[in-house]
Every structure is written in C-alpha cells, then in structure tokens.
Chains A and B, each alone.
Chain A
C-alpha cells in the first residue's frame, strides 16, 4: 500500500496461549484504533446474555408467521403430485367460484413451453389467495390439472446412466447456481450429468507414483433437509406507493434487490422486514418461488397476502443438502507426507445444480499434487440449496475418514499425522486442546473392547473460508438525550447478532449493552449483508464499531470543550466521559450528548477491506487470508448387537478470529455439533422410487436428534487475532457443523474396526457393516 492517508497501527496478532504477538497494519484514517485483546475489554468477548432474551422466552418475539396485517389474505400453493409431467390443461374456474377466493395465479402453464413441465413432486403449479387458510386450502383443491406423465428418475446412480430419462431436454438445464460448488456456468451437460468442474495443481500421476501408501475409498452422503422450525413464510403487501414484505429471510437486503428486479420497482419502493427469524441454515437465503407467488397474489388481490409453507412443503420444496457419491484417493510417503490427492464426485441437488463437495480435499492439507472432477446429476427431486457448510460438510466426510485410514496404514496417530501435514497454526493448537480435553491418550486400537458394546475415540478437522460481505453497513446514532441506536438491515438468524452489535457499540461508548437500542432486520437501515456463509459478524461488527467511533469523536470534541481537555485525552467509560488518568475531570455521557446543537449525531460506516487484504474477492464478498479451522473429537459407544451408535461426548475446538460473545458462540457450536450428529446418525430424505414422493415429509419419520440424543458437548473457542478489521471477528456457524459427522465416523471405526462409508449410520447400516444382516433368501 502506498496510500499516504493510511496510518500505521500495531494490532494484537496470534493465538492467545500459543504465541500472542503483534502485527503492523495500514489502517484507513476514518477507522478506529486497534481493539486490544478481549481480556482488556469491558463487553466484547464477555458472556453477555441475549438482549432479546425476554422477548424470546415470553413469546413476544414476532416471527413472520405471527405477522397479521389488516385485511390480510392467506395464500396456498397447489403442487405437482407427479415427479415429471407435462401440463395438458389447467382449470381454475371452480376455484375462482369459491366465495373466499380473492386471487388465483397459474404458475405452470400448458401454453408456455418454459413453464409447461413439472420436474419434481411438490413443484408449484398454481396458487390462490383467500380470506382464510381453510378457504385457500379448499380453493386450491378445486383447481383441476390434466397431466401427461413423463418418465422420471429419482436415484442418482440411475440418473447417471445414458439410458436414464432426461430431467431436462438438451440445452434446458439450469445454469450456474449462486451458491454451492461447482457454480460455473460453462460446464458441459451430458444426459443428466453436468460437469465435471475440474481443479488441479501439480501432477497427480507423478504424485501417486511417488506414494508409498495409497488409500482409496468410496463414500456416500444422503440428502438432508433444513427443517427450520419456523417454516418459510412471507407476508407481501403490495401498495400503489411501494411493496413491503415481511419475510423469514437470511438476507433482507438481498431479497429487496431480488424483488426490485423481479417486479421492476426502484429499490427505494421496496422494503423487507424480519423480526424473529425461526431458523434458515441456508434455505432462506433468497426470495424463492413462494415469495414471488405471494407478491403476485398481493398485487392481484390488492391486499396483503401471507404464505407460510406447511411442513410437508418444507420437506419437499424448500431446499435440501444434496446427496453425494465420492471417490477419494490419497497417496503418501511413509513419513506421512502427502504426495497426491484425487477426488471424483457426483452429487444431486435434484432439479438444480450446486451439488459439489467443497474444498476440504483441495485446501485442508499440504499436498503438491491435486486433482478433482466434480459433477452435478439432475434427478426428479426437489431442488437443493446451500445448507450449513455446503459442499464441505459431505466433502469432509470422505476426506477425514481417508486421512484416518491413512494414519492407520502408516501406523501413525491421527493427531500426529495431521501435525505433519496440516499447515494451519490454529488447527495445531485446536488439536492440542481437543486431545487434552477428550483424553486422547486413552485411545486404543480399533475394536479393543471384548464385550458387545464397544467404545472408541475419533477426531476430524474442517476448513471454511472466512467470508466477508463488503457492502455491509451500519448506522450508529446518539440522540440528544444520550440514547444510542445501532441500525442495520442485518437479520438475526438466531446467532444473536443484535446482542453482539450492542456489545460492540457499548464498548466504544463505555455504556452497558442494555443502553443500546438495536434496530435490525429492516431494509430501511443500511444494508447489513446476509446471514449465510458465516459472515454476519465479520461483516457488520467492524462498521458498527467504526460508526460508533466516528460518533464518539464528535462527542469527545464537545466534551473536550466542556472539560477543558484535549479530546485525544478523553475516554468514555462507565457511562461517563473522563480525562484519562484524572477521573475527577469527567462528565456524564448524557451531558455530553445534550451539548449537541443537532438532534442527533449519526454516522454510517461500511465494511472496509481487511487491513491485511483479502485472499480473494467475489463481487460484494471476499475471503480473508486465513481460513476458519475447526477440530472436533468424539467419543462413542457402539452396541454391536443392536447397531446403535451412542455419541457420549464431543469436544469442539473452533476458530472465529476474535470471539465476540462466548455464551452465544457456545450455543452456536453446540447447534453445529448437534446438526452434524443428526446428519451422521438419523436424517435422510427418502423418495419413493416408484412415485417420486418423499415418504417422510414430516418431523416424525424424518428423524432429528432430540434432547436424549445429545452428547455432552465441550466447546472451546480460540482467540485468534489477525489485525484484519475494526473488530477482527469472523463467524462460526458453518465451521462448527462440518467436522462432526466424520469425527463420529472415525470414532465408530476406532470402536468397532469397521469403517462406515455411508451416511446416515443407522442401526441397519451398522449391523450390515458388521456382517450381521442375513442375506435375503
């Protein structure tokens, strides 16, 4: 950098407890001074309870499904009962005669070649808006549809066959997907297979030739559904002067842009609001078909329209984590040095794309020779979408078992092998802490227990890019009465970003978090970026601190005049502004605010580049240099007579840069571990092979981990300072989910000596792997 306006600052850098030092960074002039390590701070890094906790425990939080507007209508979507069909005719006359109906929309249309074919059970066909949910249900059932059945395929392996029924005619397959990998628009499509998206470095042929040991395995992962407890929901209110949408969304600002583009409205006439947000996990990142439908119905009916998906719609058509097949080969020398990694993957996101397996194999370990070929396979299943650690979660299942297998072949401890091949400082420290916490020295050879219940220990690692949204912003205001507001369109997906913003701003002003009014989840405020990619904290806390610091600078000038002091000598602490080292010369924060001539002091700040620059930029987003590492250890007991795996304990050691709130981070990591455990043992979307219907579109036979399935979870979060931004904080949601299933799988291997190469690891699968299921006669 040669920009002379930048100022040189010294930041804390390194991992607390493992070499905390400093780093010099060039900082833009309007950004605050370096934030000291957490130990020196009042609020940041402290376990502050959620500021909206009272609303949540009393039922006062207003979720989208709770929004009720005067004159509001209820929308219902009619969905395809067939996995592949062409519409011959659609008749809405009877529905239109229903006395409660106010608007009808046909989505699939026989006369429109682009919209005449439905490709999965649950695909939207038509929609109605009516005066009550029951009326909407009744009216939707009156819509007559004449389908011509087309051949279909739901199984990925079958869909790969050249003779398989084509999900799309030639040239009609959807292009790149905004999330997920591979996302390249220019990939070849052969039959139902799109790709490969390839990646390589070095020469893998040479690398395998130089290998002394090669492990080679095939792995399968199932389709997982998001199962947000609040269904996808929207209340669309189309007025002549603009569109207001209440939506359970992970990205208010993004939905606003989608709406403006889809309906030809200026951004200033579109407002998107979310208060309570009942879970998203990737599936509420976009407007979605149901969102567009609600807006069209509202425009047509001239009344607000609510659509809240039913649970079976959630399961069939609100996104899912694609299923995968992977073949992974790894070559190594006797000392553990990796010589080559080769990955081939096929994944299916149903009718859409984005079923790659991420970058764990590419990036987690040092290896000079790498090649990958990833393919999307179209099937007549509901569309996949991003889900907590997309790609990497299934990808790590293969990689981390392969590394475990390699360690055994090399007679190396899995932790010791990783110490040799993993360049990450953070994960080295995480392995050290985790091994100590779980009691790794207790680990015995595979299958060491003599009795039917066999115990074992396993560990696995993860990598996740440290994502940043560059156009994320925040406004901070101090009103004349001393009250403080922080405003951003960022939404609280459940991680508690509002609380973290209150801590960030309170820290600057020397006020308690309760003194900060947090207004978020509304596009009337500066765009706060999305709550996906584990980027909210990384994106919105630096501008919050920057904006607060700019406001404080103005306040300190006023206070300096009042206290007859140089503003540079003033500090804000404990609700007062005082001269550093002279507590007697002080004034109330409120008194300083009251000296303002204007009704408020306000500043809007946006996320600046990481001070040390980025690894990569992608439009409005960027990746920090250092990835977010995680290491998890699991202890399991496997009943080899019932096939039941009981996860007794998980130690999760995670990195998110500067941890902002250990209480909330612990919640999030526990959630990541439990979602990973549930993925490992229970969950699976099951499509009937003969009809394409999901047979378990509920929360009963789609099995989710409950309280009695939860192990003891020990959470450790590193303090890993990098001097990258005003807060130096990154996210943790996805990193905490990626390693769990493979840590459990490795522990199951250690317990039983049998490697589970497919998910979920049900009693049926375990008994089969143990050779206990008789062949059918």
Chain B
C-alpha cells in the first residue's frame, strides 16, 4: 500500500544512509526499513493517494498511469484544467505544483505527493477574481476560451515571482502555450496591465 508521501517522514528516516560524493550528499544505500517503507512497488491496479488541490485534501484511488490532468478532470471533477494535446506541447493543462507551472498531462497523479496543486478553480480567492483574471476580461484576452485557464495560470505564476514583468517576460512565460484563436496580443496586454496594477 502506498502511503501519502511526506517530506518529514523522509527526513526522519534514519535508515537512509548517505554516501559522500564530493560535497553533495546523495542518499545512496538503504537500510531494510527504508526499502520496505518507501520503495515498495504499488499498482498497476488503483492505489490510494492523497492529493492536496486548492488547499483541500482529497483521498482517492488512481492507477499509477493516471495523469494529474485526468485525475483532476475525472474523479475530482475539476474540469477547468483542459487537455488539448496530451503531450506537453500546448500547455493548455497548466496547473501549479507548489506554485510552479507544470503540464498536468505530463505529470502522474501518483508522483505529486505532498506538493500542493493549484488549479484554475483555486485561483480566485473568496469569490474575488485574481488580478490576472480581471485583466483578461477587461482586455478580452480570450476567444473560444479553451486555452484560457492554462494561460491564466502561467500569467498569474509569472506575476507571483515578477510583479511588474516586461513584455518579453510575459511572452516567454506563455511561449509554451498554443492558442489557435490568436489571443496572444491581448494576453500580453492584460498581464502587463495586471502587473502594473499590482506593482
């Protein structure tokens, strides 16, 4: 059985020995306990996991092959995260793992562990739109809207680390997104405006 993975448990695991390779410490050999506890194989049938999504913990069962995007959209019903290419080539499925934008379609649900997942449904806090969301509406940074949730997640993540980005920085942040409607100019304008407002 797979237990919810916890960093603290890992650090406490005194059975993990370290081998010095130069200055960096790498867990190298293992005692029996760690091997049994952490490294037991699970699946391929569904495995219980805990996912923390938008600050809410969910206990569920997933096959190891289930991607995070599928798991959010299916069992958790969070369909705001879109799957468009399913290969990491369009970024429509962008969610945050501990605040970092990643492709939900190229992440397995089982490997999320204790990292917090933020989806488009969790961005607006207490009913108030995130400034990026508000700016997207004002600047019409959307057309069909299918790529929009992922695009919003990328732009909001950018503003979290660079409150007042340059135009080039915005374009770089969304350079992995494909929008067939061609909303890029308005997305850039909206994000710059949201940045200017926040800064």
Chain A residues proximal to chain B, CB less than 8 Å: 49-50, 52-63, 65-66, 68, 134, 226-231, 276-279, 281, 310-311, 493-496, 663-664, 666-668, 670-675, 698-700, 704-708, 710, 712-713
Contact = CB atoms under 8 A, between A and B. Distances in A.
A516 to B, nearest CB: 17
A311 B180 contact: no
12 contacts: A54-B129, A56-B145, A58-B120, A229-B84, A229-B181, A278-B146, A671-B182, A673-B182, A675-B180, A698-B85, A707-B171, A708-B175
B180 A57 contact: no
In order of increasing CB-CB distance, the 7 nearest A-B pairs are: A59-B80, A494-B144, A674-B182, A671-B182, A278-B146, A53-B137, A59-B120
Nearest to A67: B79
A54 B182 CA distance: 19
Contacts of B84: 229-231, 311, 699
Given A674-B184, A713-B185, 20 more contacts: A53-B140, A57-B120, A57-B137, A57-B152, A59-B80, A63-B79, A63-B82, A227-B180, A228-B146, A231-B84, A278-B82, A279-B146, A664-B140, A670-B183, A698-B89, A699-B85, A704-B180, A706-B175, A707-B175, A708-B171
A216 B185 CA distance: 38
A671 B143 contact: yes
Interface of B: 63, 73, 77-87, 89-90, 92, 119-121, 123-124, 129, 133, 136-138, 140, 142-149, 152, 170-172, 174-188
B144 A493 contact: yes
A229 B120 contact: no
A59 B171 contact: no
A281 B180 contact: yes
A706 B182 CA distance: 8
Contact of A706 (B133, B140, B184, B186): B184
A254 to B, nearest CB: 19
Contact of A62 (B79, B86, B144): B79
B164 to A, nearest CB: 18
Contacts of A310: 86
A55 B178 CA distance: 20
A231 B138 CA distance: 27
B185 to A, nearest CB: 5
A699 B178 contact: yes
Contact of B144 (A58, A277, A672, A698): A277
Nearest to B170: A707
Nearest to A62: B79
Contact of A700 (B81, B89, B92): B89
Contact of B184 (A53, A68, A279, A707): A707
B182 A670 contact: yes
B57 to A, nearest CB: 20
Given A229-B90, A698-B85, A707-B175, A59 B180 contact: no
A279 B183 contact: no
B180 A60 contact: no
Nearest to B190: A57
Contacts of A57: 120, 129, 133, 136-137, 142, 148-149, 152
B16 to A, nearest CB: 36
A667 B188 CA distance: 13
B101 to A, nearest CB: 14
Given A311-B87, A699-B84, A61 B145 contact: yes
B87 A230 contact: no
Most buried by B among A57, A671, A675: A57
Contact of A278 (B144, B170, B175): B144
Given A53-B136, A707-B184, A708-B171, A494 B143 contact: yes
Contact of A230 (B136, B144, B178): B144
B184 A49 contact: no
B146 A707 contact: no
B137 A667 contact: no
Contact of A229 (B79, B136, B170, B178): B178
B140 A707 contact: no
Contacts of A226: 180
